[in-house]
Amino acid sequence: MREMNITVLGTGLMGLPMGKRLQEAGFTVTAWNRTREKALRLASHGARVAHTATQAAREADVVITMLEHGDAVDAVLFGQDVASVLKPGALVIDMSSIKPAEARRHAQRLAESGVGHLDAPVSGGTVGAEAGTLAIMVGGELADFERALPVFAPLGRATHVGPHGAGQLAKLANQMIVGITIGAVSEALLLCAKGGADIAKVRDAIRGGFAESRVLELHGQRMVENDFAKRAALTVQLKDLRNALETATDLQFNAPVTQLFEALYTSAAEHGLAEMDHSALFRELARQNGMGL
């Protein structure tokens, strides 16, 4: 399996460490990125760098896309003709976070050319990508999932959750929980600060109880330190909440909690926090409460 040719399309914050781990695992990796300099960073780890996405994908057994949104995935696969050069039996693993309906459309179009497709978005951020501990949520045919397991292994823990589009549904669920929990931790700590408590000690006091979570552990620490340097952009969190609401509308599902937090993250973006970490919702809630933190 290590003789498999893997192409990585999109070598940004997540694609770069993922490509590095695949190369280190012994796969033959070819990389492409719209900004070529980003792809060249993989060359020092032994990967080949292609000038175009089509060139990168021509000999691939597996193509991994890690792009910003569904329109970008569509543009690369079909607008730049990647799909047309893939050999029959190749497998596209889209690890971007896009809408479930988009994933289903991509799978159908690729199937017409004899190419397999999995939607396999991830959670764990750059830390998980670097450590190979990503949670990978996979939708598609079970047979395609099973043949992709050696590819997933260096990247993290993969779980098959259903047919095409189901991986993206699971990612939306993940992002709903993360975004809402960031808001809960922010509001709770700000309430304590307003009342005169030391929020660093409050965070320590409630850890290990029922309020414990990765968000309280990691994002809560960022709030204590007032460190909102971008790890996962607030704009991406907002995009995912909007995708969740659009999907909910398609399914005739009422999601009032997600609607509330979409409005809060929108307000945060409108008040200059768009390119900060999504935990910067803390600052927006502080602003709404007249707290100059």
Residues 53-74, mean pLDDT to the nearest whole number: 96
Torsions phi, psi for 162 (to 5 deg): 150, -165
Residue showing tokens 């959670």: 123
Contact at 8 Å (CB) between 214 and 185?
no
What's the pLDDT band for 125 if we cut at 50, 70, 90? confident
Tokens found for residue 65 = 């896309």
Contact at 8 Å (CB) between 8 and 82?
no
Minimal CA–CA distance to 21: which of 154, 126, 120?
154
- Residues counted in the chain: 293
Q: What is the pLDDT of residues 92-103, one digit of tens each?
A: 999 999 999 999
Single-letter amino acid code for the residue at 63: V
What's the pLDDT band for 2 if we cut at 50, 70, 90? low
Tokens found for residue 47 = 């990967």
The pLDDT, as a whole number, for residue 293 is 67
The pLDDT, as a whole number, for residue 232 is 86
**What is the rounded CA–CA span in Å between residue 123 and residue 137?**
8
The pLDDT, as a whole number, for residue 56 is 97
Burial class (CB in 10 A: 0-12, 13-18, 19+), 58: middle
Q: Running DSSP on this structure, what letter comes out for residue 202?
A: H
**What is the rounded CA–CA span in Å between residue 151 and residue 145?**
10
Active-site annotation holder among 20, 38, 99, 171: 171
What's the pLDDT band for 127 if we cut at 50, 70, 90? confident
Contact at 8 Å (CB) between 13 and 35?
no
| pTM across the whole model | 0.91
Q: Active-site residue 171, yes or no? A: yes
Tokens found for residue 168 = 């993206």
The pLDDT, as a whole number, for residue 1 is 46
Q: What is the pLDDT of residues 197-220, one digit of tens each?
A: 999 999 999 999 999 999 999 999
